[in-house]
Homo-oligomer: A and B are copies of this chain.
Amino acid sequence: MANGGPEIEQLILLLARLPGLGPRSARRAVLQLIKKKEQLMIPLSAALDRAVAAVTVCETCGNVDTRSPCHICADPRRDNGLLIVVEDVADLWALERAGVGAVKYHVLGGVLSPLDGVGPDDLSIDALLRRGPEFSEIVLAVNATVEGQTTAHYITDRLAPSGVKITRLAHGVPVGGELDYLDEGTLSQALKARTAL
């Protein structure tokens, strides 16, 4: 039976689909929203409305922002020195939080995974091949998983004819670990000690 009517039930169902929230925590979240209607529910509703209207994907790098090119691609203090290639936007955000400097990014949108039917055409690899050679160095900051490393090898092979310098993050990223869960010091160190591929 619906708790408190269809509007509330619908809100619980949708919140339960967010990562980190199950049905039980979604119910608690909805009660918290209702309890703090003025301070939390109405502002969240307005913030979502604004985000729905404003959010877009950067056509240059794949970052999520409210404009394209995004504020990173458009930042005049960032030159074409380092291009950091990441699997997804969460990794880009993690590196930005680590304060890795005046770099630019390229979001692949995933990793090669033949078993899941993900091939080169499903990722933003062609765009990387066009864009990458404009930079002095490309850092392949993919996750230390089998698929991540397979993807790194594939990109290295495809970029080799251009002669651009390609590096990877230093070891220090735990094997099998995901960038987004690392502390910012580790990420920063791993970038400083990056090695040539």
A interface, CB within 8 angstroms of B? 1, 3-8, 10-11, 14-15, 17-21, 24-25, 27-34, 37, 40-45, 47-52, 54-55, 63-67, 70-71, 88-90, 93, 96-97, 180-181
Tell which of B1, B15, B20, B67 touches A44, judged by Cβ atoms closer than 8 Å. Answer: B15
Instruction: Please indicate the chain B residues that have their CB under 8 angstroms from the CB of A89 in the complex.
Output: 4, 31, 34
Other A-B contacts than A6-B66, A19-B25, 13 sampled, CB-CB below 8 A, are A3-B93, A4-B64, A5-B71, A7-B51, A7-B54, A8-B64, A8-B65, A10-B50, A19-B29, A24-B180, A28-B180, A34-B55, A45-B48
Which of chain B's residues has its CB closest to A71's CB?
B5
Given known A-B contacts A5-B65, A8-B66, A65-B5, A90 and B52 have beta carbons under 8 A apart: no
A1 to B51, CA, bound (A): 18
A27 to B25, CA, bound (A): 17
Which of chain B's residues has its CB closest to A90's CB?
B31
* Contact of B96 with A3 in the complex, beta carbons under 8 Å: yes
Shortest Cβ gap from A145 to chain B (Å)? 17
* Contact of B3 with A51 in the complex, beta carbons under 8 Å: no
* Contact of A29 with B20 in the complex, beta carbons under 8 Å: yes
- Give 25 A-B contacts (CB < 8 Å), ordered by A residue: A4-B65, A5-B54, A5-B71, A7-B47, A7-B50, A7-B55, A8-B51, A8-B55, A8-B64, A11-B48, A14-B47, A17-B40, A19-B28, A20-B29, A24-B181, A27-B90, A27-B93, A31-B64, A31-B89, A34-B55, A34-B89, A37-B52, A45-B45, A45-B51, A48-B48
Instruction: Please indicate the chain B residues that have their CB under 8 angstroms from the CB of A66 in the complex.
Output: 4-8
* Contact of B34 with A64 in the complex, beta carbons under 8 Å: yes
